[in-house]
Amino acid sequence: MNHLAPHERTQRAERPRATRKPIPPRAAFYLLASVVVSFLAASSAPTPLYATYQAEWGFTPITTTVVFGVYAIAVLSGLLVLGKLSDHVGRRPVLITAIAAQAAAMLLFTTAGGVGELLVARVVQGLSTGAALGAVGAAMMDINRSRGTMANAFAPGLGTATGSLVSGFVVQYLPAPTHAIYLGLLAVFAAQAVAVALIDETVAKQPGALASLVPEIRLPRAVRGAVLAAAPVIFAVWALAGFYGSLGPALVRTLVGSTSAVWGGLGLFVLAFVAAASVLALRKAQSTTVMYTGIGALVAGVALTLVAVDLSAPGLFFVGTAVAGLGFGSGFQGGIRTVLPLAEPHESSGVLSLLFVVAYLGMGVPSVAAGALVVHGGGLVPTSEEYGAVVIALALLALAALLLRRGRPQSGPGVKVASGGPQSVTVRAEQPESLTQAR
């Protein structure tokens, strides 16, 4: 029985309920960037462990590249099926679910007892990464469009570098090497899931969530030309990242004559760290200039690494890797900055997901082919030289594509074309007031 007087019950009913205090937008932005970093760190964490797995389970180099390639295919599947979902149901639900799946993948890694379990863990990890990349990248752009574009280019390199190096040291110097790095990442994901639940939603829900799960390659007209110019560059630089993530550890250990896990992760660390630094160093340059810089550095860096492999010179190899890292960061940044500013806010997640589809195709397909060549072709060193030659050829094709598109006008609804190359097309026509309010 309720013994409160009528006026007391009225006051109790009218008293506002306590609401959670959301994380401020600036802090939310850095939290979202940290999610990209942790996801990419988790993706590169197994790299120094491949030699350990190979010794324990007795598989060949082609298995290493298959494990790597399966992850790339899973990311592609996540991007194609789930990449646009956050545009309809909101960023937070997709991110929290993806972080939970990533945490589950860490548990699968810690209990893996063979190649089959390792493949399952990589699939779960890849699907969750594919689901998260478009959502978290679009959420950062919802908060701050210019800084979000930059963070989408910077955070992946930082995460890849961090995961590779930290994992190498953990494997080399801490007990339980096949468990410690994953348990540490599990704790990070648990904390991030709680924090993401406290941020404000950055996009209004839209109908069509189920329809968005049907894989569909549809580019808004305003970004088509920019994507055609950027895609070959993105494919080429991520093909190089695929090499360093799959065969790079074995090649570095061969060059330095050491079985240390730190050496196994150092090549990918140098590549990704320099890539991330180049994003910051070139953030004020025109995006087309950044892409040309990326192509030139990619060709020069890979050429230096090929000479180093031929001479068995590890010092020169790391110099070439650093130069190639400049190419990686510049090429990827230039592609992102050429395309994303042309996309409308409600298109950002889908467009960004498509760019990552190109990236992971470049990372996965050539590396699996290289693994087959190591086993059935000339071995590790000759395959590495052939892979490097292919990356140079891809970079030159990307340069040809850019030169062919130089000066061509972009077209699309709501876009005014200014003079100059693709990057000059950044001036939008006035939107009708009703359309702006509807968004």
For the stretch 207-223, what's the b/e string if a residue is b when 16 or more beta carbons lie within 10 angstroms of its beta carbon? Answer: eeeeebeeeeeebbebb
Residue with tokens 């395959």: 383
Contact 68, 250 (CB under 8 A): no
Contact 342, 224 (CB under 8 A): no
- Specify if 14 maps to a domain: no
pLDDT of residue 25: 87
- Specify if 214 maps to a domain: no
- Specify if 6 maps to a domain: no
- Specify if 208 maps to a domain: no
pLDDT of residue 410: 44
User: What one-character DSSP code corresponds to residue 15?
Assistant: S
3-state secondary structure of 427: strand
Domain count for the chain, please give it.
1
Dihedral (CA of 169, 173, 177, 182) sign: negative
List C-alpha distances in Å: 248 to 48, 165, 320, 373.
10, 13, 13, 14
Q: How far apart are CA 128 and CA 376, in angstroms?
A: 33
For the stretch 323-348, what's the b/e string if a residue is b when 16 or more beta carbons lie within 10 angstroms of its beta carbon? Answer: bbbbbbbbbbbbbbbbbbbbbeebbb
Q: How far apart are CA 357 and CA 107, in angstroms?
A: 26
- Specify if 425 maps to a domain: yes
- Specify if 275 maps to a domain: yes
- Sort 299 into a burial class: Cβ within 10 Å, 0-12 / 13-18 / 19+: buried
Q: How far apart are CA 369 and CA 246, in angstroms?
A: 11
pLDDT of residue 426: 34
pLDDT of residue 3: 52
Read off the CATH number of the domain in which 197 is found: 1.20.1250.20
Of 224, 242, 209, the residue nearest 369 (C-alpha): 242
Contact 247, 54 (CB under 8 A): no
pLDDT of residue 238: 87
Q: Which residues, including other chains, have CB under 8 Å from residue 382's CB and lie 6 or more apart?
A: none
pTM for this prediction: 0.73
- Specify if 32 maps to a domain: yes
DSSP state letters, 39-66: HHHHHHTTGGGHHHHHHHH---HHHHHH
H helices of 144-286, in order, are: 145-173, 177-196, 209-212, 224-246, 248-256, 261-281
Tokens of 29: 């932005």
The boundaries of the domain holding residue 176 are: 25-202+220-438
Instruction: For residue 415, give the H/E element and its range.
Output: strand 415-416
- Specify if 411 maps to a domain: yes
Partners of 428 in the beta sheet?
415
pLDDT of residue 408: 57
pLDDT tens, the chain, 439 aa long: 455 554 444 444 444 444 567 788 889 999 999 999 999 999 989 888 887 888 888 877 778 878 878 888 898 888 888 877 888 888 899 999 999 999 999 999 999 988 899 999 999 999 999 889 888 888 898 898 888 888 887 888 889 888 888 988 988 888 888 899 999 999 999 999 999 999 988 778 888 778 777 776 667 888 888 888 888 888 988 888 888 877 788 888 888 888 787 887 888 889 989 988 988 888 888 888 888 999 999 999 999 999 998 898 999 999 999 999 999 989 888 888 888 888 877 777 778 778 888 888 888 888 778 777 877 777 788 888 888 888 898 888 888 878 887 755 444 433 333 333 333 333 333 333 332 333 3
Q: How far apart are CA 317 and CA 329, in angstroms?
A: 18
Residue with tokens 């467009």: 351
User: What one-character DSSP code corresponds to residue 432?
Assistant: P
pLDDT of residue 435: 29
Q: How far apart are CA 246 and CA 380, in angstroms?
A: 11
Q: How far apart are CA 134 and CA 152, in angstroms?
A: 10
